[in-house]
A and B are shown apart, each in its own frame.
Chain A
């Protein structure tokens, strides 16, 4: 908080904060307002007499209805959810074990292995999808959810591993040593002591991984072709933009509904998530 006179607080705190918030939230506002605006208003030219881009007096659910009745949106939602959840689960399990091993077990080349894992994360997806597409085709996984469930971990596991490595390093090693003196095997010490203590870190890794796979675009675009297999980001953009015709209303409705699960995931875990980022382990 800025100390001192009132004008100081306004100039240095409230006004910059308000500007920042407007800048940040305006796209969401635009998305919401567009999704409930009737078509007649949406395609009105900017110089017409009753042009009013920021508000509507005749909100409508038509776009949402169109989305669910005329498109396969509910199938896309289900696909995205299924793919995101399963790939997150796989990546979390691998990431937690790998992170633990890399940060706690002293084995030769642990450091360079950790760096290697990080480097795989740096390979851009726009390059990686080419060899992956080849593999997906060879294993005849194209156009199935498994094509994504098995490829998303290529970037999710390095991500989770690195996040968990950092988190495990912050957990005092005495906790584990104490457990081992108390009679726990390494496995039990990890299961009963280290993992429960690392729950905030695991939750944040999970939320990040879920968000990444929920929003993923390029693999979904390349590996899925039939409309009923698509995920929300690909489905909405490929089915609601036909040629150069943009179905703005349903597009925005789809984008809005697509961002809700992520928003819920964030706000639901926000407490743990913040704790995870600050690494607050109390000894």
Chain B
């Protein structure tokens, strides 16, 4: 079992309110990812679950037991740190065995578990080495191995992949996912990388300035972001935002600014009617823009001027100017666009997002 419940968690550092009223139920066997920019309180939250940081108010419970005042060692958790935190004077074997030795496991059992973990991670031939004789990826595996030998109720990961190079990071990401599927242990994972969050998490918690912005499955966050911050944070390249004024022309709502005038799809109509005459923020993902053809209704297209063309191979990113706004469009790799070319772009009507200009909440 490994069910973690956070109830009204707060953390103050002197005058700084680092974590504000976090409520979350992490189910058994679930992989939950905390994501957000640096300083958003995600690592602090993780450290409070670990018991490395005292909570200012609220309750943390694991499997129904409140653990607020339990020492880290008594919470039956294992943690993987960003810098691996391998004990530099111990061999890989001793690094992995340390937790079991401290818990007074019998020697044969320790040996069995270490070898088992080493097999899973493919580091069986490194057991006699010292951490400084290992590459970054190998150190990462040892750090993982040290966590899994203990068979804890919960794994805690604090940006474990951020010290690896890009290629290795992708590889380890897949391995982590496989490992989780194989072991089925509850995992709480902290990262600032939204791609990691989206690929690893069963559920993702987006945080900013100590507040939880949204909790949901990766695709829910992508398709129905709760506010402008989540919308901009999830997805790459980031969502395009521009400020528009809502206008009512003969019963048809339009979103208008200096660069374009878009017809608001009927599905959004009712929710937006109250905003007529006011400013709202419109959000369009780069991948929801394409070069307009005759099939596109005119009301859903707008003129733009290409400023930069980024050829990525699988797609082309066009940095365009529409009125005063800069936008990015991810278009088909067959599109041949030149710098300074005038281009009409079309929007996928089902995928336009609207946000309140003041509260930034989704409309």
Contacts and interface: CB of A to CB of B under 8 A. Distances in A.
Interface of A: 172, 174-175, 177-185, 188, 192-193, 196-197, 199, 281-283
B164 to A, nearest CB: 14
Interface secondary structure of A, over-half rule = helix
Contact of B73 (A175, A183, A192): A183
A167 to B, nearest CB: 14
B188 to A, nearest CB: 13
B103 interface: yes
Contact of A183 (B82, B103, B131): B103
21 contacts: A174-B81, A181-B50, A181-B73, A181-B77, A181-B78, A182-B73, A182-B102, A182-B146, A182-B150, A183-B73, A184-B73, A184-B98, A192-B98, A196-B89, A197-B89, A281-B88, A282-B132, A283-B83, A283-B84, A283-B86, A283-B131
B102 A178 contact: no
A181 B72 CA distance: 5
Given A174-B81, A188-B102, A283-B83, A180 B71 contact: yes
A183 B103 CA distance: 6
A179 B101 CA distance: 11
Which of B50, B71, B81, B150 gathers most chain A CB within 10 Å? B81
Classify chain B: how many residues form its interface, as a range: 20 to 34
A180 B131 contact: no
A179 B50 CA distance: 12
Contact of B79 (A181, A183, A281, A283): A181
A193 to B, nearest CB: 6
Given A183-B103, A282-B132, A283-B83, 6 more contacts: A174-B81, A179-B87, A182-B146, A183-B102, A185-B73, A197-B88
Given A181-B50, A183-B103, A175 B72 contact: no
A279 to B, nearest CB: 13
Which of A177, A197, A282 gathers most chain B CB within 10 Å? A177
A178 B73 contact: no
A278 B39 CA distance: 31
Contacts of A197: 87-89
Which of B78, B85, B132 gathers most chain A CB within 10 Å? B85
